[in-house]
Structure 1
Amino acid sequence: MIGNFLRKKKTQTQVLVGMKEKQIQYEALVSAYHKDMYRYAYWLTHDQHIAEDIVQETFLRAWKSLDSLLDANAAKSWLITILRRENARRFERKQFDMTEYEEHNIHDDNADTEQNVEQQLLQRKIANLPVEYREPLLLQVVVGFSGDEIAKQLELNKNTVMTRLFRARNMLKEALDSGNSERSANG
């Protein structure tokens, strides 16, 4: 009877120690990657509240499956994968109403400063890139992934990723140059 009590006490202690280690690991993940996850989610959604929800759901799913993260060096890629899936689930759950106007025709009265205007212009130009070029560019610029990490994340060949990044930058440069030419001609 005393043996059962001691074994039960030892098992409870092991569980508590395991939970404490998991909590420490989780808090380290959140602390290290929360800003990157939010920045990427915001680029995907263009909405602060949706981005916050996606990041929260990402970290909730990360907590639930934290034991499956075997390599701490792969944590950022692992979290990005979860976040991308959460963003995709958002479209599975919700049917969007189609409207008669396009996003770039909406004027934001809060965009007072020249910097905000330029940032919004850049975001629109990036949003207008084809997905196969936009996604690697965002993973590199917003999340800070290398070509190898992007290739692994998108399940592509590294050369394909590098070509898409090169083309994305060129498309973006051309779009921005043409926008500057139009403004110069009008101004």
Structure 2
Amino acid sequence: MDKQPVSTNNQRRQAYESIVSSYYQDVYRYAFWLTRNANIAEDLVQETFMRAWRSFDSLQKSSAAKAWLFTILRRENARMYERYRPELVDITDASLAEDKGGEPDQFRDRQELHQAILGLESDYRDPLLLQVIGGFSGKEIASILDLNSNTVMTRLFRARSKLRDTLTSETPSDASTTQQESQ
């Protein structure tokens, strides 16, 4: 019996486990941000790591593992929504859970930021999330999204500009108050 395959399998498993332990939290954080649901994020992360194990031999450099995992995660998230069929719920039966954590102003600010980010077109939202949540550089984001580095940097700049405009724009009631004060 040849002992080489056992050693190779052990080395492969150890390398995989090292990558999982190094990047699990980052992958989960990104999955949670995408789904805003802990159970779905856990399922998504589990499927991501299963697919990563199956194609682990295709990973050529361990330094590219994080970007590789995020790419698998994004694709798995897209696959999940291709087959997702929402369950319709009667609004009278639904109840809203309150988030007791943090101050009300902080919760509102977080909600406004989250809504503003979700309101961005995916061309701007995806690179921004990969940079902010994933901690990737412009070059890494370009590789993940199959884009030119300059395109990624432009989209990041525009995403921040759009967020700034959205979050600092005056509401109609503020504008009318300002006009009345100036008269």
- Normalised to the residue count of structure 1, the TM-score between the two structures is 0.81
Q: For residues 99 and 88 of structure 1, what CA distance do their matches in structure 2 show?
A: 24
More helix by share: 1
Equivalent residue in structure 2 for 1:172, among 160, 163, 175: 163
Letter in 2 for 1:81: T
CA distance in 2, matches of 1:138, 1:127: 10
Of 76, 91, 96 in structure 1, the residue corresponding to residue 81 of structure 2 is 91
Tell me the alpha carbon deviations over residues 79-114 of structure 1, each in whole angstroms, 9 at most, x when there is no partner.
Answer: 11111111011012222357899xxxx965115523
Q: Which residue matches 1:27? A: 17
Q: How much has 1:128 moved relative to structure 2?
A: 0.9
Report what 2:33 is aligned to. Answer: 43
Matched AA of 1:149: E
Structure 2 Cα separation of the partners of residues 111 and 23 of structure 1 = 42
Identify which of 133, 139, 143 aligns with 1:148: 139
- CA deviation after TM superposition for structure 1 residue 118, in Å: 2.1
Alignment partner of 2:124: what SS? Answer: helix
Aligned with 1:121 (options 89, 100, 112): 112
Q: Give the Cα–Cα distance (whole angstroms) in 2 for the partners of residues 36 and 100 of structure 1.
A: 36
For residues 51 and 41 of structure 1, the distance between their equivalents in structure 2, rounded to whole angstroms, comes to: 5
Match of 2:67 in 1: 77
* 1:109 aligned residue (98, 111, 120): 98
Change (3 A) 1:99 1:149: farther
Give, in whole Å, the separation in 2 of the partners of 1:98 and 1:145.
Answer: 37
- Among 53, 60, 64, which residue is 2:54 paired with? 64
Q: Which residue of 2 aligns with 1:139?
A: 130
Mean Cα deviation higher: 92-101 or 62-71: 92-101
Cα distance between partner residues in 1 of 2:172 and 2:62: 48
Report the Cα offset of residue 78 of structure 1. Answer: 1.0
Name structure 1 gaps, 5 residues minimum: 1-7
Cα gap change, 1:108 to 1:120, in 2 (>3 Å): farther
The 3 A distance-change label for structure 1 pair 168 and 99 is farther
- Aligned match of 1:5: none
| 1:75 Cα offset (Å) | 0.8
Count, aligned residues: 170
Query: Normalising to structure 2: TM-score of the pair?
Result: 0.83
* CA shift for structure 1 position 123: 1.2
